[in-house]
Amino acid sequence: MTLNRVAGQPGHGSVDQGEHRRRPTPVPGLRLQALRVSRWVDDRLTERDPLGAVVHSIFRRVANLRLASGDLLSLSSPEVALGPNGVAVELPQDTTMWAVGIQPAQPAMLDSVGIRIPGADLVVTVAGAARWEPRPRVRRAAPRELARRLSEARAVALAEGAPESLLPLLRSPDGEGNTRPLDPARAARQPAVLLCEAATRYDDGAVRQAASRLAGLGPGLTPSGDDFLAGFAAAWALTTEAIGLPSGRSARVSTALLAGASARASDLGRMWLAHGVRGEVAEPMGRFFTALLAGGLGALAPVVRSVLALGATSGTDWMVGALLGAEAALRAARGRS
């Protein structure tokens, strides 16, 4: 799968190495203002002791920092959809993350003032930034109504999803559909079916096995299999809560999914998964879940399209996983009744 990839954020452009070579001399002593901060980041900025970090990767509009815990934090320009690990930063007009002097492997520090990257002579201040909640609010949903909304979302995805993606997994669950021998969808079909069946039965071991086969599947900064698993994880977490399935059993499925995927997933894929199992998602995905779980006439199709529009195939791969994860939760509920 290919994200149009801003680092760690589905649907944005990849590194422009030509721009890297041409980047201007950074402005010394630059202070940038954070406009919005996700709750997950804000909690870490308000910890008692400063947190160490290092620049993990840098792209035109996003810079990723790896915390000592291994978690990734993303600094992004305002036009990038905020992720669950994100800080929206007001960049000077017509500039990029490269241009402000951020480079891979630079040490960084997080504290109550904000984020400091001494090697770039840069401080991102957070005072006055709006705090954003990356976990959509969950209300109880009737399984029959939720099934109807899922059917609507599936129809939009099938009609408008990226063809070179995992979309065939929605078309023909028991066959190969129109996939070619080397398509990621062909390799993903069997473990995806196994994952759906195992989650429905709360079979931790089979969930772990299926996730390990899907993680890292396909090309790209976050491969198709990683995006699929992130969508599945978030949908499972939020849908099982919405329809009132036992939280302990549902959480064991999420834990097994993350454990199975961790060894083979990309760095960014692991980050999306870790947030996904907690129901934390980027803004476009949050709007999708709000429409799916809360309903509202005409609200669902536009938000499905906004997710599908992310990247070359990233949004579609995520959406396929989310639809199958929510449908697995509904089957688990039927098995319980």
Whole-angstrom distance, CA of residue 4 vs CA of residue 2: 6
For residue 29, pLDDT over 90 is answered with no
Whole-angstrom distance, CA of residue 333 vs CA of residue 171: 23
For residue 118, pLDDT over 60 is answered with yes
Q: Which residue from 320, 332, 29 is spatially nearest to 150, judged by alpha carbons? A: 320
What is the pLDDT of the chain when averaged over all its residues? 88
Which residues have CB under 8 Å from 217's CB, separation 6+? 184, 187, 188, 223, 224, 225, 226, 228
Q: What is the pLDDT of residues 223-255, one digit of tens each?
A: 999 999 999 999 999 999 999 999 999 999 999
Whole-angstrom distance, CA of residue 257 vs CA of residue 277: 8
CA 63 to chain centre: 16
CA 75 to chain centre: 15
Q: What is the mean pLDDT of residues 295-319?
A: 90
pLDDT band per the 50, 70, 90 thresholds, residue 296: low
Long-range contacts of 123-126 (CB under 8 A, 24+ apart): 123/30, 123/31, 123/32, 124/31, 124/32, 124/33, 124/34, 124/75, 124/87, 124/89, 125/31, 125/32, 125/33, 125/34, 126/34, 126/37, 126/42, 126/45, 126/87
**What pairs with residue 184 in β-bridges?**
none
Q: What is the pLDDT of residues 130-174, one digit of tens each?
A: 999 999 999 899 999 999 999 999 999 999 999 989 999 998 654
Q: What is the mean pLDDT of residues 33-54?
A: 93
Q: What is the mean pLDDT of residues 268-287?
A: 96
Q: Which residue from 28, 51, 189 is spatially nearest to 110, judged by alpha carbons? A: 51
Q: What is the pLDDT of residues 3-19, one digit of tens each?
A: 333 334 444 333 333 33
- To the question of pTM greater than 0.85 for the whole model, the response is yes
Query: What are the domain boundaries of the chain?
Result: 17-132, 143-336
Q: Are 250 and 291 in contact (CB under 8 A)?
A: no
Whole-angstrom distance, CA of residue 118 vs CA of residue 123: 8
- Cα-based torsion angle of the residue sequence 82, 85, 89, 93 in order, rounded to the nearest 10 degrees: -60
How deeply is 329 buried, as exposed, middle or buried, from its count of CB atoms within 10 A (0-12, 13-18, 19+)?
buried
Whole-angstrom distance, CA of residue 34 vs CA of residue 21: 27
Question: 30-38 and 86-90: which strand pairing?
Answer: antiparallel
Whole-angstrom distance, CA of residue 233 vs CA of residue 257: 7
